[in-house]
Structure 1
Amino acid sequence: MMNLFNNKTMKNFHKLFAIAVLTVITFSCVEDDDFSIPDTAAVDIEAPANLIDMSAVIGLIGQSQTGTVTFENNEQFIEGYVISSDEAGNFFEELIIQDAIQNPTAGIKVLIDNSPLFTTYAPGQRIYVKLDGLTAGLSNGVPVLGLNGSGVIEKIAPSQQTEVILRDSEIFDIVPTPVTGPSEFTTAKLLTLIQLPEAQFTDGDISANRTFAAEPTDQFDGVRFIQTCGDFFAAPIRLETSTFSDFKALRLPNGSGSITAILQRDFRDDFFVLSVNSPEDFNFDPNTRCNFDIVACGTVANAGTNTLLFENFETQSTGAAAMPAGWTNFQEEGTETWEVYTATGANASLGKSVNCGSFRSGDASTVAWLITPQFDFDAQTGEVFSFETSNSFADGSSMEVLFSNDWDGTTAGIATASWEPMADPVVVSDSEAFGNWVFSENVSLDCVTGTGAIAFRYIGSGDAGTDGTYELDNISLTSN
């Protein structure tokens, strides 16, 4: 019989056979990897027997001397509803849940070393988190759940994910909590879904045509500022967007409308901030901006040559309520008033000055008015108004400058008069060094008509953690 295979042919055949065997082994390995992925399908489940309130977990953090609490061998769970989504890239390896679909009392962040999470946990989905082996604590000012690390709370490993987090198949419609502005931001609302019904991005951000987080100065997060439509004087609200988000390069939407967002704290735990899941959380009318009734005549380079009013309080008694001739000093709420004081050193007054502050007052609310005499703004032209302000940790309190041309001059008439915000004066900011005095700029009132008065209104909440003091001096009104 003829030998059909010589030695060279046999060697090639052996090589081909080896390659074929290796190929089968390789593809078998791939198939094994695929089959090793855990089944994460949601199923109908009964609530675990040992449920504890999410707020109780947060309370344990506050009671702990170390700032953390570790749960061991207790088989306890917390129930939560997912409110975050990493589909648009604005969240990463974290799941934010709140304790109810409506009117929540607590929220917490679950750290998971896995991404994406939106394919497994949908917004509105009910989950149960097994606390056994987890550690709860504060990170950047918000409560988190994860694993106990070396001085930090670490992320839950993917291999533990399905054991720690049980998913219900039912998905609910989360009802965001309506808030009118930053004065309603509280720690109780942290990591919950809120909604500003009427808001817009500030004129500065819109006029600069800024993106969400793609400006050259944006690092890690882009910070943009939101203004509520209900209160001209409300502090701007910070919106933080990750520079890794899919929508970072989109321009900020013009117009105004509602914003649905998660209330958080910034990285250094200095401010409340908002974070959105996607641009769809902005329901804006692009053709409508907030409509404020304000006095805005602009500013001018110099004051006028004719003095209508100048008050530096040097003739007033130190420690007493400021009562210059023709002025009105009125306590609308609380026990604090605009009072004459002197101070030296790093936080010096300007001779005698006046201040108002509700820090440690014990009052539930503080509203104090200091109102100028009334002037006929038709009797002359070119009116210019100015003053100087300083603050001693103003924090959550505020000072507003208002104008009214229908106030009757009585304390009883203050509440019924129309007081319009003056948009142009510069009032010292809380971030200003407490020893500095800030000039208001020369504020024109040339567009004002009729008889009117100007008011300085201090507002504080009585909260020792958020209230402070404003100082005021050198109030001037001139004309041509």
Structure 2
Amino acid sequence: MEIINKKARWIPVLAPLLLLVQACLMQEDWEVPSSECVSELSPNITLREVLDSYQGSTQEILDDWVMEAYVISSDETGNFFNTLHLQDRIADPEGGIQVEFEFRDSHLFFPPGQKVFLKLKGLFLGKSKGIFKLGSSYTSFGNLQVGRIPKHAVGNHVLKACEAPMALRPKTVAIPDLTSQPANTLVRLENLEFAQELLDSTYAQSEVPTLRRLLDCEDREISLMTSGYSDFYEKTLPAGMGPITAVYYPEGGKALLVVRSEEDLDLTAERCEELITEFTSDSLIFSELADPDNNSAARYVELFYAGDQPLSLNGWHIDRYTNDNTERGSSIDLSDITVNSGQFLLIASNAAVFQEIYGTAPDIEGGLNSPADSNGDDNLVLVDPFGTIIDIFGIIGEDGSGTAHEFEDGRAFRKEDINKANPVFDPSEWEVFNDTGASGTVNQPQRAPQDFTPGSRG
């Protein structure tokens, strides 16, 4: 009974304490930063200077630094979650950063354009997948990482300035210029549209961050990243073209855009006209094929362009059919080349040897066993982006040995008055030198460099 009586005497004491603890826990669950603003703080370091202080690994900030910045993100639609994205200026920012914190509905306290002060002492600065972050810390596999600032501590570090939110002025940039733009800053890109194959797709898959491919009117590409928890993830992508305002987020070296809501996309204009990037022409020809008798490493193929206008070789390639094979043995892609009127295109089997022997650098190195490395009894074809044979040397399926298209230890030179390609081999268009002299060719092996004329039809 005594024991029971002792326990009974504790009940009135414990009950209020338990209620107090429960109340404290519930209060902490809902604790948010004060809605009061501050006007007396003076920044003593810039965001750019903070970023420049990073030394390659997550580090605690020990100095009494105060930094000012402007909010550019919003979690109102759920596409941002427990993060606050900041840049150092309303316009033309020099730096941006991501603050990790446990704070839902932060847009009610920190709307876009809101000036904030950050008391940095005790926070950790780190970098993950190319993105600078501020927050608390945790350890993962022995490595210190930036984590979320606990909600009860947010008000100690992130303070709202008394100034009313200002209108952000995102920098208008083109896709190729994004790499020079600071990460985690607000940008605007004009004339964007979702790829044709995505027009029936939604912004994201449920509960999964999803990338959707965007193109500009010059077919340059960037991706939009959308959270599968956002309010609009199930909505169908807009089918038109127009500007997008977004946070530039180059995660892991991949340029990404993250919008705050659907309203950041204004894709209502007519889609871009189809961009034609592949062209054909019969003015690009084989002009010389070389297999020097004294140096097989000095082999090359020369093309000549007789057209009037520049020609993009996007999709063009040279194929080699070795000996009597009817299957392509090797190929050289010419897609990165644009040729101008009267230009030669020199393709060496070995660039270093070519430059040493002929005194000039080739445009392309084909490599060993490539079309530029033929030993004179193979067949070469020039193919346009549409799979059409534009020009040819030899007859596919016929070994060149002892024929009118053998240039072993020699040279095949296109006559100077031939400026149009021919998809059917015509020996009368060529002067062929070799070590046999068969079928109307010249039995006269050629030596490099004196018997060859790379870059000239003379």
The interval holding the TM-score normalised by the smaller chain is 0.5 to 0.7
Once the two structures are superposed, the pairs formed by residues 45-444 of structure 1 within 5 Å of their partners are 45-48=39-42, 50-61=43-54, 64=55, 66-72=56-62, 74-150=63-139, 151=143, 152-170=145-163, 171-180=165-174, 182-186=175-179, 188-206=181-199, 209-214=200-205, 220-229=208-217, 232-234=218-220, 236-266=221-251, 269-285=252-268, 288-292=270-274, 294=276, 308=282, 315=289, 323-324=303-304, 326=306, 353=332, 369-371=338-340, 442=386
Q: Is the 1:125–1:168 contact (alpha carbons within 8 Å) kept by the matching residues of 2?
A: yes
Q: Is the 8 A contact 1:55 1:106 kept in 2?
A: yes
Q: Which runs of 5+ in 2 are unaligned?
A: 1-10, 292-297, 312-317, 321-327, 344-382, 390-420, 425-458
**Dislocated runs of 4+, deviation >4 Å:** 25-36, 307-314, 316-323, 327-331, 349-357, 371-374, 476-479
Query: Is 2:284–2:305's contact at 8 Å kept on the other side of the alignment?
Result: no
CA distance in structure 1 between the partners assigned to 2:86 and 2:422 by the alignment: 54
For residues 324 and 46 of structure 1, the distance between their equivalents in structure 2, rounded to whole angstroms, comes to: 72
2-side partners of 1:175 and 1:254: how far apart? 26
| Cα distance change, pair 370–104 in 1 and its aligned pair in 2 (3 A) | same
TM-score (norm 2): 0.59
For the structure 1 residues 316 and 290, does the alpha-carbon distance in structure 2 shift closer, same or farther, using more than 3 Å as the test? farther
- 2:73, 2:243 → 1: CA distance? 18
Compute the displacement of 1:54 (Å). Answer: 0.8
User: How many angstroms apart in 2 are the aligned matches of 1:111 and 1:256?
Assistant: 34
Task: Output the CA distance in 1 between the equivalents of 2:46 and 2:21.
Answer: 47
Residue pair 1:261, 1:277 contacting (<8 A) in 2 also = yes
Bigger share in strand:
1
Among the aligned pairs, what percent are the same residue? 24
Q: Report deviation, 1:125.
A: 0.5
Decide which moves more: 187-196 or 103-112.
187-196
Deviations 1:214-253 (A, max 9, x none): 3xxx762111111113xx242x110010111111000001
Higher RCO (C-alpha under 8 Å, 6+ residues apart): 1
* Inter-partner Cα distance in structure 2 for 1:477 and 1:131: 72
Is contact 2:194-2:214 (8 Å) kept? yes
Q: CA RMSD in A?
A: 4.3
User: Bigger CA drift: 142-151 or 122-131?
Assistant: 142-151
Question: Conserved in 1, the CA contact under 8 Å of 2:117 and 2:160?
Answer: yes
Q: 1:330 to 1:258 in 2, by over 3 A?
A: closer
Larger Rg: 2
Q: Could you tell me how far apart the structure 2 residues matched to 1:77 and 1:219 are? A: 37
For residues 97 and 231 of structure 2, the distance between their equivalents in structure 1, rounded to whole angstroms, comes to 25
Inter-CA distance 212–99: structure 2 relative to 1 (3 Å threshold): same
TM-score by length of 1: 0.56
Separation in structure 2 between the aligned mates of residue 174 and residue 276 of structure 1, nearest angstrom: 14
- Output one character per residue of 1:63-85: Cα deviation in whole Å (capped at 9) or x when no partner: x1x4233211x211121100011
Asked if structure 2 preserves the Cα contact closer than 8 Å seen for 1:327 and 1:370, the reply is no
Partner SS, residue 265 of structure 1: coil
Q: CA deviation at 1:155?
A: 1.1
Deviation at 1:257, TM superposition (A): 1.2
Given residue 256 of structure 2, which amino acid in structure 1 is its aligned partner? V
Is this contact kept in 1: 2:285–2:305, CA < 8 A?
no
Shift of 1:113: 2.1
SS, match of residue 243 in structure 2? strand
